[in-house]
Amino acid sequence: EAAREILERVEERGDNRLGVEAMGLLDAYGIPMPDGEIVDAPEDARAVAEGIDGDVVMKIVSPDILHKSDIGGVEVGVADDEVEDAYETLITRARNYQPDANLLGVQVQEMADLDAGTETIVGMNRDPQFGPLMMFGLGGIFVEVLEDTTFRVAPVSETEAREMTEEIKTAPLLRGARGRDAADIDGIVETIQRLSQLVADFPAIMEFDINPLVATPDGVAAVDIRLTVD
């Protein structure tokens, strides 16, 4: 129900592309994510940051800016007393990039533990021939340089989801290479299945990318999302 409302709101907005304002969709499907909120005033950003332990990440929220770091739209490791300045900086950068961009606000988000975690990507594309194709791979440089990704037609069973985590070339990194602890592979498998269910429930979702889904030994967290609806 919550998911349906979110998608209806987008339709009313007359926009078919969503960024982190779609996090609620993931929440509705029980996918873990860092604490966070979208605000539209610097004071509110500060208040949210003060309610979150440690530094925060701040991101511009706009359907016109879906590759946020490309325009300096992501500030990582922001302390509480820097939040209001960072808010203004993000808005200024967005305005400079595209003066008429539809700015929905700024997301203030808890930091994910990237040191203990591995950045993975889970995505979906509707293929005209095969239908919805779920994608899994490692994030960051791995996806760009190695194109180390794997695909299954949705709905994806638990066995298939597990195969996806095992068959990428960089799978040993998830299992714990070089003295690192293994990532929560069960959490990844569960997330792939839940997203596959989301895709089955909402044929209007044409494609999405969760990049990164951070996988630590303790669990997974969806840190960023973009999606396109029909």
Q: Which does 68 bind (CB under 5 to 8 A by kind): ligand ADP, Mg ion, none?
A: ligand ADP
Beginning with the edge strand found earlier in the chain, give each strand of the sheet holding 74-78 in spatial order: 36-39, 105-110, 56-61, 74-78
Q: To the nearest whole angstrom, how small is the minimum distance from the Cβ of residue 27 to ligand ADP?
A: 15
Q: Which amino acid is at 167?
A: E
Asked whether the beta carbons of 14 and 63 are under 8 A apart, the reply is no
**Stretch 70-99: interaction string toward ligand ADP, x if CB under 6 A:** ----x-x-----------------------
Could you say whether residue 224 binds Mg ion (CB under 5 A)? yes
Phi, psi of 183 (to 5 degrees): -75, 165
Could you say whether residue 104 binds ligand ADP (CB under 6 A)? no
The DSSP bridge partners found for residue 131 are 127
What are the angstrom distances between the C-alpha of 110 and each of 56, 57, 59, 118? 5, 6, 11, 17
Cα separation, 148 vs 12, in Å, equals: 37
Could you say whether residue 211 binds Mg ion (CB under 5 A)? yes
Q: Which does 109 bind (CB under 5 to 8 A by kind): ligand ADP, Mg ion, none?
A: ligand ADP
Among 101, 114, 171, 182, binds ligand ADP (CB under 6 A): 114
3-state secondary structure of 230: coil
Site size toward ligand ADP (CB under 6 A) is 16
Cα separation, 47 vs 124, in Å, equals: 35
Cα separation, 87 vs 43, in Å, equals: 9
Q: Which does 28 bind (CB under 5 to 8 A by kind): Mg ion, ligand ADP, none?
A: none
Maximum Cα interatomic distance, the chain, rounded to a whole number of Å: 52
Tokens in use for 138?
């490692």
Which range touches ligand ADP (CB under 6 A), out of 45-53, 62-70, 79-87, 193-201?
Answer: 62-70
Tokens in use for 131?
């239908």
Could you say whether residue 111 binds ligand ADP (CB under 6 A)? yes
Q: Which is nearer to ligand ADP, 197 or 228 (CB)?
A: 228
Among 3, 46, 59, 104, binds ligand ADP (CB under 6 A): 59
Judged by the rule CB under 5 A, the positions of this chain that interact with Mg ion are: 211, 224
Judged by the rule CB under 6 A, the positions of this chain that interact with ligand ADP are: 34, 57, 59, 67-69, 74, 76, 109, 111-112, 114, 211-212, 223-224
